[in-house]
């Protein structure tokens, strides 16, 4: 429904990323297991769209996502998040929580390790409240 308001920027087996008509970047994870290189490609395209779009706002839809592996967690924390902040201008992330309990636990680990970064994350059980929070962060 709301994803139809997004203009698709990139898609692969790990998910899709697009620019939402409301002014934020939308990352939607696909269900199932991911290949590391494919997932990294999805996130690199997400970073590039953040840089191009310039709002610093990202909606991350993890509802169908499987848990991050330890190597995915490490790459996300040590490489992608710092790069996305510096190179992409990433400032606010609204995460629609995964249905899978192990995926939620893995994301909690990422969140705890990313607390020192200049990034604000909020978690939401459904998309509408995540979008409403992101709209409050718009500064232009």
pLDDT digits (tens, 9 = 90+) for 69-99: 999 999 999 999 999 999 999 999 999 999 8
Residue 26: inside a domain, yes or no?
yes
Distance in angstroms (rounded) separating the CA atoms of residues 77 and 127: 24
What's the CATH code of the domain at 59?
3.30.750
What's the pLDDT tens digit per position in 101-140? 889 888 888 888 777 788 998 999 999 999 999 999 986 5
Q: Say what the pLDDT of residue 140 is.
A: 53
Measured in whole angstroms, how far is the alpha carbon of residue 79 from the centre of its chain?
Answer: 14
The pTM for the full model equals: 0.91
Residue 137: inside a domain, yes or no?
no
From residue 52, alpha-carbon distances to 18, 94, 106, 113, 129 in Å are 12, 19, 29, 27, 25
Residue 63: inside a domain, yes or no?
yes
Domain boundaries, position 83: 2-30+42-132
Give the H/E segment covering residue 107.
Answer: helix 101-113
Q: How many domains does the chain have?
A: 1
Q: Say what the pLDDT of residue 111 is.
A: 80
Mean pLDDT of 27-56: 96
Residue 67's pLDDT band, with cuts at 50, 70 and 90, is very high
Q: How many CA atoms lie within 13 A of 78 on its CB side?
A: 6
The answer to whether residue 22 scores a pLDDT higher than 80 is yes
Distance in angstroms (rounded) separating the CA atoms of residues 36 and 72: 7
Residue 138: inside a domain, yes or no?
no
Q: Say what the pLDDT of residue 1 is.
A: 43
Residue 37: inside a domain, yes or no?
no
The answer to whether residue 53 scores a pLDDT higher than 80 is yes
The three-state DSSP-derived secondary structure of 11-43 is EECCEEEEEECCCCEEEEECCECCCHHHHHHHH
Mean pLDDT of 13-17: 98
Residue 127: inside a domain, yes or no?
yes
């Amino acid at each position: 429904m709301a994803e139809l308001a997004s203009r698709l920027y990139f898609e692969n087996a790990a998910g899709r990323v697009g620019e939402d008509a409301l002014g934020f970047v939308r990352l939607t994870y696909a269900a199932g297991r991911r290949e590391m290189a494919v997932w990294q490609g999805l996130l690199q395209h997400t970073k590039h769209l953040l840089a191009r779009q310039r709002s610093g706002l990202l909606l991350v839809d993890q509802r169908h996502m499987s848990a991050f592996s330890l190597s995915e967690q490490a790459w996300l924390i040590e490489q992608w998040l710092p790069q996305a902040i510096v190179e992409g201008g990433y400032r606010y992330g609204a995460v629609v929580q995964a249905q899978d309990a192990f995926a939620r636990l893995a994301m909690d680990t990422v969140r705890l390790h990313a607390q020192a970064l200049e990034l604000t994350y909020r978690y939401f059980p459904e998309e509408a409240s995540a979008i409403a929070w992101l709209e409050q962060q718009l500064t232009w």
